[in-house]
Amino acid sequence: MPARKYFLNGPLVSEQALGYILHADRSVSDLLLDQGEQTRVAVNLPMGDGLGSHGANNIYAVDQQIVGETLIVRNAKWVTIHHSCGWGHGPKFDEPRQLSQSLDKIPLEIVVEDLWDKNFHSTVMSGDQIHLKVLHFGQPAPRAKITVISEKGWQKTLTTDDSGAAQFQLVRDYYPESWSAFHRTEKGRIKFLAEYRTREPGTFQGQNFQQTSYSATFPWRYYPAQREYSSLMIGLLVVMFGLGISGMGVFVYRQRRQTGLKKLVFHE
């Protein structure tokens, strides 16, 4: 789709909020945040192969407000995979486009690795080890708090190391009532929330503050682990094999039970 719209959920943003897009070719453009009943951002990405937007594009919304003596800085991020297999897969040989990118001007950013393959197809599945980093203006944010939240209510809290990195295993939370209800393309949704504080005083728009509280969110999607639908297929094959053996047994049994016609001759 050449034109896309994304909506910000949560508290309203200030009039000074800014939007950016980091294109797949590393160029940066400003985005206008439309502040109606719900803040939204519109993104126009050209269609076709070989264009700067072919690949992963980072979309940001950054807001800053002073509450009491604290500067509150919030950042929402989304990655749009702008790709069609009809355009070809030339960018698979462009290594920088394959990597998760970051923007140095963003106050706090979550960068998650290996979200897509070389053909820009989402590859995250339940059971995967997720590796991520939290960056503060492009530099590692040590001891930042990360909360991982799934749409079904599963949560996990992490703390970044000195290099701003952390990792965890994405657990399975897709449990259909029966095999017949299982869908291998069922999308699960997950949100990463990072929080980071500094005690450096400063001034923002003529107001003094004594500390800064940063937060960043990044949502993504994932699919059931391959072994889930592989085991489903194996189970179905086992059932079909069992039914086949049972049917063959019934057939042989009935054949043996049949009594052939005999000719009897009486001599009186």
Which among 142, 69, 137 has a CA at the least distance from the CA of 108? 137
Burial of 196 (0-12, 13-18, 19+ CB in 10 A): buried
Beta bridge partners of 41: 6, 33
Quote the tokens at residue 259.
């009594």
pLDDT digits (tens, 9 = 90+) for 51-62: 678 889 999 999
**Cα angle, residue 144 at apex, residues 138 and 150 outer, rounded to 5°:** 105
Average pLDDT of the chain, as a whole number: 85
One digit per residue, the tens of pLDDT, for the chain of length 268 reads: 678 888 888 777 888 899 999 998 899 999 988 887 788 888 888 887 656 788 899 999 999 999 999 999 999 999 998 888 888 777 777 888 888 999 999 999 999 998 988 888 888 888 889 999 999 999 999 999 999 998 888 899 999 999 999 999 988 776 777 767 777 777 889 999 999 999 989 999 889 999 999 999 999 998 888 666 555 555 666 667 677 777 777 666 676 666 555 666 767 6
